[in-house]
Amino acid sequence: MRISLKLSRIKPSATLAMNAKAQELKAQGVSVISLAVGEPDFPTPAHVKAAAVAALDADFTRYTPVPGIPELRDAVGGYFGRFYGVTPPREAVIVSNGGKQALFNLFTSLLNPGEEVLIPAPYWVSYPDMTILAGGVPVPVPTDPEDDFLVSVEALDKACSPNSRVLVLNSPSNPTGCCYTREQLDAIMEWAVSRNIFVISDEIYDQLVYAPSEPASCVGWWQKHPENVAVVNGLAKSFAMTGWRIGYCVAHPDLIKAQSKIQGQSTSNVCSFAQKGAVAALTGSYDCVAEMRAAFKRRRDLAMEVVSTWEGVRCPNPGGAFYLFPDVSARYNAATPDSTTLCTRILEEAKVALVPGAAFGDDRCVRFSYAVDDNTLLAALEAVGKVLKS
């Protein structure tokens, strides 16, 4: 089969691959705990499901406008107004098939061949591959666990070249869970804007931030510098709606039109009745989100309590999302010299699926998702701890 050359540099998603391996073992009757996948274990809130069912019953099942139904675009504007005091108008909002499509649209709309994208590492697996698919060049900017894996202006300055076009920020981060403070974010944004580097701020975990950390959005920077900033978010993580495929982007209206053009020639609109559910989520009560946030915080604390007892393992206490990203490299040896061999060994011996840090651009670490119930989490950590000790 002849496949386009550009795909030869694209990796399949490592998180999905590890989960598939765990499912395979499960199918063979082996009891496996998967901490590999990045999705909440809660059901979608009842009022959101009811709104989608009502839309189906009302035959709201036709094509909708490509960038989303007007009431959802307005609800997205309202979301930013409610939490961050900036209400982007309808023409500055597009609704996409998950945050993933919003990001893909952005890379495709912004990049010319050879232009570079600064990607603080560890990074979410899809940023480099999306950059390559859009003809750009990913430039990872390394960070360290001692700095909570947060990138500094100095490191960005060093990595920057005349070809740098885009910087991707992701706070809270997948895979580290770490969050930038308002001040840190402002310093980076000031630097980027002064160098005319476009910032894509992926804020998909902004509702999952645990006090004393505080959510910080770049939407205020978008308001001040609409030609330099785009904000991506979605309902997958905050409302336990991963399968609904609802993401959105706030950007300059011309950039929204460009993204709409891509969607119009590829996927068209997001599922009509899913959009109605999304309106209910964004405009309704956020009590359900607060409950999930409290559960994730409790699990984060449980997991940190165990991980911090592992000798030689360094793990920042993350302020958000539902991941831990410990540096386990002190446990590497001749038989398990990297994160991939270690994760394979953990899967075989502890029957726990994790994702190798190599997939996120940091081979010192492994990623745990704590989006599972407390008992499962503790059982998995105990089993992993034993393997690390041995």
Contacts with ligand PLP by CB under 6 A lie at 38, 98-100, 124, 170, 174, 202, 204, 234, 236, 242, 247
* One-character DSSP codes across 225-281: -TTTEEEEEESTTTTT-GGG--EEEE--HHHHHHHHHHHHTTT-S--HHHHHHHHHH
Residue 38 CB, shortest distance to ligand PLP, in Å, is 4
Residue 100 CB, shortest distance to ligand PLP, in Å, is 3
Rank residues 204 and 240 by Cβ distance to ligand PLP and give the closer one. Answer: 204
Burial of 60 from C-beta contacts in 10 A (0-12 / 13-18 / 19+): middle
Rank residues 141 and 388 by Cβ distance to ligand PLP and give the closer one. Answer: 141
Rank residues 40 and 77 by Cβ distance to ligand PLP and give the closer one. Answer: 40
Rank residues 119 and 388 by Cβ distance to ligand PLP and give the closer one. Answer: 119
Rank residues 11 and 386 by Cβ distance to ligand PLP and give the closer one. Answer: 11
Residue 270 CB, shortest distance to ligand PLP, in Å, is 11
- Whether 131 contacts 301, CB under 8 Å: no
- Whether 197 contacts 164, CB under 8 Å: yes
What is the C-alpha to C-alpha distance for residues 111 and 92, in angstroms, rounded to an integer?
A: 20
- Give the residue nearest to ligand PLP (CB): 98
What is the C-alpha to C-alpha distance for residues 230 and 24, in angstroms, rounded to an integer?
A: 39
Rank residues 191 and 205 by Cβ distance to ligand PLP and give the closer one. Answer: 205
- Whether 208 contacts 172, CB under 8 Å: yes
What is the C-alpha to C-alpha distance for residues 390 and 45, in angstroms, rounded to an integer?
A: 42
State how far the alpha carbon of 173 is from the alpha carbons of 81, 215, 227, 247, in Å.
23, 12, 24, 17
Residue 2 CB, shortest distance to ligand PLP, in Å, is 30
Residue 236 CB, shortest distance to ligand PLP, in Å, is 4
Determine phi and psi for 3, rounding to 5 degrees. -110, 145
Residue 3 CB, shortest distance to ligand PLP, in Å, is 24
Lookup: tokens for 355: 């994702």
Rank residues 124 and 296 by Cβ distance to ligand PLP and give the closer one. Answer: 124
What is the C-alpha to C-alpha distance for residues 183 and 194, in angstroms, rounded to an integer?
A: 16
Rank residues 313 and 366 by Cβ distance to ligand PLP and give the closer one. Answer: 366
Q: Which amino acid is at 71?
A: E
Residue 280 CB, shortest distance to ligand PLP, in Å, is 17
Residue 244 CB, shortest distance to ligand PLP, in Å, is 9
